[in-house]
Amino acid sequence: METEVEEGLLSVSGILAQYVQMREEEFKKQIKENVDGLYKKKNEAVKAGNSELEKSYYNQWIEARKVNIDKVMTDDISRLSGIMSNFLESPGVYDINHELVFRLKIGSSETKEYFMKILKVKFFHDLNSKFKTYSRFSVEKGFRSYRSNVLVGSFMFFILFFYVYFTVRKKRESIFIRRIPGLDAIDDAVGRATEMGKPIIYDSGIGAFINPQTIASMLILKSVAKKVAEFKAEIIYPAYDPIVLQVAEEMIASGFLDAGYPEDHKKDNCFFMVQDQFAFAAGLAGLIARKKPATALHFGSYAAESLLISEAGFAAGAIQVAGTVEASQLPFFITACDYTLIGEELYAAAAYLSRDAQILSNLKLSDYGKILFGILFLLGTILLTINSEWTIIADILDTY
Amino acid sequence: MRILEKLKKLDRRIIYLLVFLSILIPFLPGMDFLVFPVSTSKETETIFNYIEGLEKGDAIHVDWAFDPSVKAELMPFFKAFFRHCMKKELRVFIYYATINGINLGKEAVAKITSENEFSHLKEGVDYIHMEWVPLQPGIMIFNMMTDYKNTFKKEGVIFEGIETLNDIKYVLGLSGSGWHITWIDMQIRFGYKMGLAVTAVMGPDFIPYTQTGQLYGLSYGLRGAAEYELMVSEKYDRDYYDTATRGMSSLTLSHLVIFGFVIIGNIVYFIEQKNRRI
Amino acid sequence: MKKELPILMGLIVGILWYSEFFIAGIFYENMKLFFANGFRIAGVVGVMVGIYSVARQNYAKIKYNNERYYSILRVTMILLMIFLGTKRGMSPGTPFSSMFMNVYVPFQATVFSLLSFYIASAAYRSFKAKSVESAVLLIASIFVMLGKIPLGEAMWSKIPVISEWIMDAPSSAGRRAIIFGGYLGTITMMIRIFFGLERSHLSE
């Protein structure tokens, strides 16, 4: 029966879709008229010298040009399917709640009726939502042409990436990376830890593993772990996220392996602390206060807990190097830490430490991207300042 | 010179003590002279005016992403916002993006609904708690755009007419971290209207997005909450002033103490520089 | 095989999500639901990994370490909260909720409040007009701080305007540059993962 109902729904939504598609030309005309009308109104406001009105019409004109046929048609079909589904709908509360449990416990004669009602309502609701999704996507299907600029742009970026990747791989040694003092300090800091016989504490903030800052932090962790192994020091890694912990353990182990001392790696030094922002900050601050590490390294994504952690390190007298892309946390790190990597320096750090071809090409690509987009932004700003109708660059860059 | 040396190596505990006193003293009785009137900022006004312009039965999605740690800063805002929504008879869907927020939110809502004025409100009709789902915000937004209700696996009368995120009139994010960056990134694609209430520390991070239109309204810190309390109270001519308005005098005094320390620090630094030159 | 399979899966999923941006259809809607369920399962497995790690770490501490009393306390509290939650539920008014609101909430709030003390001491230590730039920074910060407190407006009505301008124009411009650089780094990192060039997260 399920497939039968599904086919029925599909055919009904297909008919709806056909009806809406028939009106495509009408919609197109409507959009064009709307845009032209607003443009005219704007020009009239310019003639009248009413700058306030001109501004509002200008904004409306910009917004109206973003309206695309797909979205108008989707809106129309959801209006139609809304009317259709009103016939199907019979609302009611049918969660598994105390009332249901109570009635089931008593087992009265009404229970069966009540239960059937719940099932019925649930069935119709599910049908309804399915129907709406079907009808929406029987109109909106195929290529979204209004996003072709992103497609072209991303392909250009891919090509640029591979070009950079292969050129960098050929002349890896001669590529210049600006000196990052914070990273040079890591060597000394690790050495200092060995001399003092104290551990190094490394944390990667409160990002989940899908956060690129956390991934960058893991790459740095590998290089640091290698140095730590070479210097025969000890590294402690408290984790915020259990999945990041698994990766970090692997990173440290492989760092120790690269250095040739896999047996020095203590597994208990990487542990899950707590997945809670401030409990993590308190725990980490406590750990720093107790262990009094020679060096504390903070790389990753941070929020308000940054100062709590870095002040604890300052009070414990550790050399601290921090790095994050979160702009609001940078001031705190800069005041409390000895060295701070600002913004994308965090991504550059891994390249700087390992001089690995891939990561180097990453850095180069970011540079090219900055130049390219910088020029585009500048051009767009100049054009729009000269004449507010020259929106060509804004149109190229616009995504919706 | 001995004073100078002492000031230079000022014990942190003295600073801590003075800051503590500056926060505590305004809460004592008889300290009302420290209260100054608050003016409203344009970003908070944007949220208020938008909610004010909505009609009865419109849907609001609250993305609750803060834990108890920042309760003092964000809870007053939520309370004022929730009262405002209930006054306008809007439907409020409260989703908890963090497990630790669930009980906090439920207690807050229970407290408001126990007031006489709001005692007629029912869960599942006027508002609903949507618990916590182990999903990253990105994938969750995609799902909400496909099927709003099934994303949360919750049922109720309140969902009537809400099929996708497009049917939600306003999304309010509450957080003490960068959690809502994904929501902001996706705004361009899906075009929902969204506002944020964040802690004062995180506030400046989000200002660029209010200029690009990705954020429609931003309130940060206790100040934003105090502004909202003021606006709601003035509009409905009732006493909705809560901890935020009371906390403003604490905020004033503690700022002054920090000013004092910055000035002392600079004086010490300049005298030291002068002595060194001689 | 151990490395190639995850990379291949990553590539396929990457292509699927990349094409989702450009192509509409019912297939992609079902795909989203599929991934949502997958993430739910992964989330639960993540919790299990966390429980295992906590158990392992606390077991080792209780057995060998001199910090064992803290560990015992920690494990007891975890078990107590689980017990209270399963016994009487977690809605407002239950013992679980009472413990949460009266023990956990103040603890958390305390840690966050420490920030204000730390900010005060850090400001005293390092907020000095050492050069022209830092002097400018100092003046700007004083305006912003005054703009945030009601006293500022009472002193001079223009202070909030100046503070708002500082936040909207110079501060936002700098922040944009940092955000932009960060996102470019993110995109390149993602391209590397997309094409399977980045393998360090697979411990290679």
Chain A residues with CB-CB distance to C107 below 8 A: 279
pLDDT score, position B1: 62
pLDDT score, position A93: 47
Tokens of B143: 């799902």
Average pLDDT across chain A, whole number: 82
Total number of domains constituting chain C: 1
Distances (CA, A) of A370 to A374, A396, C173: 6, 17, 15
Output b/e per residue, B21-32; b: 16+ Cβ within 10 A.
Answer: ebbeebeeeeee
Residues 6+ apart with CB under 8 A from C38: none
Query: Are the beta carbons of B178 and A301 closer than 8 angstroms?
Result: yes
Q: Note which residues in 78-97 of chain B have CB less than 8 A from chain C.
A: none
Closest by Cβ to B261, choosing from C124, C130, C149: C124
pLDDT score, position A97: 59
pLDDT score, position B76: 92
| Spans in chain A with pLDDT lower than 70 | 2, 85-101, 121-122, 125, 355
pLDDT score, position B92: 93
CA dihedral B79, B80, B81, B84 (to 10 degrees): 120
Query: Residue B85 above 80 pLDDT?
Result: yes
State the average pLDDT over residues B137-160: 82
pLDDT score, position A396: 81
Out of A84-88, C33-37, C47-51, give the one with best mean pLDDT.
Answer: C33-37
pLDDT score, position A215: 85
User: Residue B127's beta-bridge partner residues?
Assistant: B92, B123
Does any CB of chain A come closer than 8 Å to the CB of residue C203?
Answer: yes
Residues 6+ apart with CB under 8 A from A205: A213, A214, A217, A240, A298, A299, A300, A301, A302, A324
pLDDT higher for C90 or B263?
A: B263
pLDDT score, position B64: 92
Percent of chain C scoring above 90 in pLDDT? 2
Alpha-carbon distance of C80 to C77, in angstroms, equals: 5
pLDDT score, position C200: 62
Instruction: Please judge whether A144 and C23 are an interchain contact, meaning their C-beta atoms are less than 8 angstroms apart.
Output: yes
User: H-helix or E-strand containing A131?
Assistant: helix A110-139
Q: Which domain holds residue C147?
A: 127-198
pLDDT score, position A293: 92
Touching chains, A (3+ CB pairs < 8 A): B, C
Instruction: Please judge whether C46 and A243 are an interchain contact, meaning their C-beta atoms are less than 8 angstroms apart.
Output: yes
Alpha-carbon distance of A204 to C46, in angstroms, equals: 17
pLDDT score, position A145: 79
Residue type, position C5, single letter? L
Residues 6+ apart with CB under 8 A from C154: B36, B37
Instruction: Please judge whether A304 and B201 are an interchain contact, meaning their C-beta atoms are less than 8 angstroms apart.
Output: yes
Cα-to-chain-centroid distance, residue A88: 39
Query: Are the beta carbons of A168 and A360 closer than 8 angstroms?
Result: yes
Alpha-carbon distance of B116 to A33, in angstroms, equals: 53
Average pLDDT across chain B, whole number: 86
pLDDT score, position B51: 92
Does any CB of chain B come closer than 8 Å to the CB of residue A83?
Answer: no
Query: Residue C19 above 80 pLDDT?
Result: yes
Domain edges within chain B: 39-244
Q: Which domains does chain A have, with CATH numbers?
A: 2-142 (no CATH), 149-172+360-397 (no CATH), 181-354 (3.40.50)
Tokens of C83: 């017990």
- Which of A277, A306, A314 to probe the B interface (max B CBs under 10 A)? A277
The tens digit of pLDDT for each residue in B149-169 reads: 878 877 777 887 787 888 889
Does any CB of chain B come closer than 8 Å to the CB of residue A122?
Answer: yes
Query: Are the beta carbons of B204 and B88 closer than 8 angstroms?
Result: no
Pairing of strands A339-342, A295-301: unpaired
Burial class of residue C101 in the structure, from the number of CB atoms within 10 Å of its CB (0-12 exposed, 13-18 middle, 19+ buried): middle
The tens digit of pLDDT for each residue in C81-135 reads: 889 888 887 778 888 888 888 988 888 888 888 888 888 888 887 788 888 888 8
Measured between CA atoms, the residue of chain A closest to residue C18 is A151
Q: Note which residues in 139-178 of chain C have CB less than 8 A from chain A.
A: 174-175, 177-178
Chain B residues with CB-CB distance to A92 below 8 A: 157
Does any CB of chain B come closer than 8 Å to the CB of residue C119?
Answer: yes
Query: Residue B170 above 90 pLDDT?
Result: yes
Query: Are the beta carbons of B194 and B215 closer than 8 angstroms?
Result: yes
Work out the minimum CA distance from A271 to partner chain B, whole angstroms. 22
Look up the CATH architecture of domain B39-244.
Answer: 3-Layer(aba) Sandwich (3.40)
Instruction: Please judge whether A141 and C25 are an interchain contact, meaning their C-beta atoms are less than 8 angstroms apart.
Output: yes
pLDDT score, position B95: 92
